[in-house]
Structure 1
Amino acid sequence: MNTAEAVAKVIEDLRKQADCSQVHLSEATGIPRTTLQRRLDGDPFKVNELDAITKALGVDAAAVWSQAALLTPS
């Protein structure tokens, strides 16, 4: 798993834990749903997208990176 895929997995897990649909997350962040879906499929997130998502989910971006690092080979 590469870094982009790991970040996507962490975001997807957090989204599900928050019981937040992709449509709702898209609306809350202003990220088009199709773009959000591509990112969750492993395309790298842009910094502003990750910032908007973590704010919408109420999590710290650094925590997302830390969790993603645990999923990637060293």
Structure 2
Amino acid sequence: MNVQSDLAMKTDEVLRIELEVFRRQHRDLDEAISALEEKGTGDQLTIRRLKKQKLLLKDKISAIEDRLTPDIIA
């Protein structure tokens, strides 16, 4: 199931909750990546995996925001 069809099945309330959870996870990943890069303790493969997870979360966040934001016809 792709992100768009998954979103279509959920209520706005559920999407708002998921949005907050995904934003928190995105921040946590950002902090973890920064800490690993600063300390030099993380191997590059781990850092790349974390960055990929962060990008996937960003895509989910964008999709939910698009769904929750009404289209404005200018």
TM-score, scaled to structure 2: 0.32
Larger radius of gyration: 2
TM-score by length of 1: 0.32
Bigger helix share: 2
